[in-house]
């Protein structure tokens, strides 16, 4: 470990301990009521990289408990911005051009400053207004170092995380991968281009144009959208906008991104949505979610199962897309989801939030050792934000009323197979049917010849085996102790060997050894709490 890494390691440990997280060597997450708040404060004190890590963790309820998620969502990018001189150096290093050779005007003070970058407003030589987002110096190296240190800490205490559903090292690897993607601004530029392409036929949705000649890994240049923030209701009303119309279009736009495109904005908060010329403009594409076609279809089916109160179908979907992390009791899973459904059925449809319902269902899956894909956790976060935005601009709109008809029509379209799908499935079925008789004959021959093998898989027996090992070890320990006592008694009775005060030294030594072993055995039993 380098001197820089060692100093940072000590700083991280010191700050975490300062806020009550020295328990890292204990078994479980601190249960103190102020722990979530303290974790947020610790991340803020540790600087931009930890603020970004905290913001990523706030999108992952599959990793942290809900109270931590809520607190980490409050993390603000209160970091000081880089000086204009530093920005000029980065700009020249990336593009080999001076700022004023490219722009007529360039705002020296950023209009926004975040943990990994800051945004400046500028005017090109041709008069176009643009936004230039420039990465902080050394942020990538700092992020790599901090995550490497966190992985080292987890490795040193990995035994403490053995009961967690998510492997902490795997989670840190995912965070590292996510930050690497976000730190390459060309990825964000490509996401904007893809979003524009997918929504080119939607007249009321758009996004900024990318200026590729000024875009690199550390700089992204895009069109400046001079509109009204969706949260500025008074300005929208003054301009004559119908808020109900905007709310409905926003919901429809987001459902299209999820259920049809499988490519959705991961952070649709009011600051990232602008209204201009009767269009909804999405900006800041640093966090984007993707849903594969099978996952998208499964999500469609899950929404329909919820609408029809079909628990069996919903469990089938969960088992299909989830990753089993232990023994799954389907009966308990059924009871948990049935209880949720009864709870929601007693609530007016107007008060049901689709994000809350999905979150509760996913929590039930988590409690039954089923880990759901991380893209779904980002989706729920996006839905929570969109529901909040829609509720603010148009309180009378119910998202579920829009979602279910949209999903139904979407499923009907998806259920119509293409000629290629029909041909492929028919060919596959006919081929398998022709092979079936020979496979059955082969199986029968194996059974008749005694060559058939049956593999048994034991599940959740590790704990019981460990307990049995402990019991056997204690029994052996007790037998050895008893042997010392019996042997020492026989030696004292025959009074053989060297003596001290007329008593056999060997016998006394045996008694002392027996007393020590017996005391050790008693202490271990008392500490286990199973006397």
Domain at 225, CATH number: 3.30.200.20
Average pLDDT per 10 consecutive residues for the chain, totaling 531 residues:
84 86 51 74 87 82 78 74 92 94 94 89 95 93 90 74 65 84 93 96 95 96 95 93 94 91 92 94 92 87 80 88 81 87 68 78 85 82 88 84 72 49 54 69 73 61 69 77 76 71 73 78 68 54
Residue 78 is predicted with a pLDDT of 59
Same domain? For 359 and 479 the reply is: no
Residue 158 is predicted with a pLDDT of 66
Supply angle C-alpha 360, 363, 367, rounded to 5. Answer: 140
Burial label, 475 (beta-carbon count in 10 A; 0-12, 13-18, 19+): exposed
How far, rounded to the nearest angstrom, does the alpha carbon of residue 20 sit from its chain's CA centroid? 24
248 belongs to a structural domain: no
Dihedral angle over CA of 209, 215, 218, 221, nearest 10: -40
CB distance 112 to 78 below 8 Å: no
Residue 29 is predicted with a pLDDT of 44
Same domain? For 150 and 31 the reply is: yes
Same domain? For 49 and 66 the reply is: yes
Same domain? For 31 and 92 the reply is: no
Phi, psi angle pair for 434, to nearest 5°: -70, -30
Same domain? For 32 and 88 the reply is: no
3-state SS, 418-454, equals CHHHHHHHHHHHHHHHHHHHHHHHHHHHHHHCCCCCC
Same domain? For 23 and 112 the reply is: no
Same domain? For 322 and 389 the reply is: yes
433 belongs to a structural domain: no
Structural domain total, the chain = 4
Domain that holds residue 388: 289-414
26 belongs to a structural domain: yes
Residue 105 CB coordination number (10 Å): 10
70 belongs to a structural domain: yes
426 belongs to a structural domain: no
Same domain? For 116 and 66 the reply is: no
Same domain? For 340 and 470 the reply is: no
Same domain? For 314 and 392 the reply is: yes
Same domain? For 482 and 507 the reply is: yes
| Residue finishing a domain among 393, 414, 435 | 414
3-state secondary structure of 331: helix
Phi, psi angle pair for 276, to nearest 5°: -150, 130
520 belongs to a structural domain: yes
444 belongs to a structural domain: no
Residue 371 is predicted with a pLDDT of 81
Residue 413 is predicted with a pLDDT of 45
**Element of type H or E holding 288:** strand 288-290
Packed helices 293-307 and 374-393: angle between N→C axes, nearest 10 degrees? 50
Helix, strand, coil: what percent of the chain each, to 5? 60, 10, 30
Residue 212 is predicted with a pLDDT of 96
| pLDDT tens string 229-248 | 999 999 999 999 999 999 99
Phi, psi angle pair for 219, to nearest 5°: -135, 135
Query: How far is CA 285 from each of CA 76, 190, 195, 439, rounded to the nearest angstrom?
Result: 18, 9, 9, 53
How far, rounded to the nearest angstrom, does the alpha carbon of residue 249 sit from its chain's CA centroid? 29
| Residue finishing a domain among 396, 414, 432 | 414
Question: What 8-state DSSP symbol labels residue 53?
Answer: H
Residue 514 CB coordination number (10 Å): 20
Same domain? For 102 and 205 the reply is: yes
**Element of type H or E holding 304:** helix 293-307
243 belongs to a structural domain: no
């Amino acid at each position: 470990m380098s001197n820089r890494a060692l100093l940072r390691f000590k700083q991280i440990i010191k700050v975490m301990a300062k806020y009550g997280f020295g328990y890292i060597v204990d078994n479980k997450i601190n249960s103190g009521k102020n722990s979530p708040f303290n974790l947020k404060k610790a991340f803020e004190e540790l600087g931009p990289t930890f603020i970004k890590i905290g913001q990523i963790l706030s999108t992952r309820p599959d990793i942290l408990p809900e109270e931590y998620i809520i607190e980490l969502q409050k993390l603000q990018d209160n970091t000081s911005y880089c000086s204009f001189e530093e920005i000029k150096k980065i700009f020249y290093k990336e593009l080999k051009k001076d700022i004023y050779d490219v722009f007529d005007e360039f705002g020296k003070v950023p209009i926004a400053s975040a943990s990994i970058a800051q945004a400046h407003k500028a005017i090109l030589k041709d008069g176009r207004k643009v936004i230039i987002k420039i990465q902080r110096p050394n942020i990538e190296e700092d992020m790599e170092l901090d995550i490497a240190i966190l992985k080292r800490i987890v490795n040193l205490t990995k035994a403490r995380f053995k009961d967690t559903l998510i492997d902490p090292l795997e989670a840190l690897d995912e965070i590292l991968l996510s930050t690497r993607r976000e730190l390459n601004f060309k990825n964000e530029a490509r996401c904007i281009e893809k979003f524009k392409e997918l929504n080119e036929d939607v007249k009321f949705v758009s996004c900024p144009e990318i200026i590729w000649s000024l875009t690199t890994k550390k700089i992204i240049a895009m069109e400046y959208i001079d509109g009204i923030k969706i949260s500025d209701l008074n300005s929208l009303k003054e301009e004559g906008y119908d808020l109900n119309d905007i709310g409905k279009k926003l919901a429809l736009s987001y459902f299209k991104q999820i259920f049809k495109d499988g490519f959705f904005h991961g952070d649709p908060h009011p600051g990232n949505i602008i209204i201009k010329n009767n269009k909804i403009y999405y900006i800041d594409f640093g966090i984007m979610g993707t849903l594969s076609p099978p996952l998208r279809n499964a999500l469609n089916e899950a929404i329909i199962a919820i609408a029809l109160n079909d628990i069996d179908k919903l469990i089938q979907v969960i088992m299909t897309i989830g990753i089993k992390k232990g023994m799954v009791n389907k009966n308990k899973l059924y009871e948990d989801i049935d209880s949720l459904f009864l709870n929601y059925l007693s609530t007016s449809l107007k008060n049901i939030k689709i994000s809350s319902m999905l979150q509760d269902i996913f929590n039930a899956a988590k409690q039954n050792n089923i880990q759901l894909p991380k893209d779904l956790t980002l989706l729920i976060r996006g839905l929570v934000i969109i529901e909040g935005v829609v509720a603010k601009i148009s309180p009378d709109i119910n998202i579920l009323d829009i979602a279910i008809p949209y999903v139904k029509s979407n499923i009907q379209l998806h259920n119509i197979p293409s000629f290629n799908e029909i041909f492929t499935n028919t060919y596959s079925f006919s081929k398998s049917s022709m092979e079936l008789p020979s496979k059955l004959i082969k199986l029968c021959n194996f059974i008749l010849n005694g060559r058939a093998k049956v593999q048994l898989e034991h599940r959740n027996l590790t704990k019981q085996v460990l307990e049995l090992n402990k019991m056997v070890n204690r029994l052996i320990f007790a037998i050895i102790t008893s042997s010392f006592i019996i042997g020492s008694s026989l030696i004292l009775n025959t009074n053989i060997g060297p003596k001290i005060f007329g008593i056999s030294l060997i016998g006394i030594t045996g008694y002392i050894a027996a007393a020590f072993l017996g005391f050790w055995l008693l202490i271990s039993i008392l500490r286990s709490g199973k006397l």
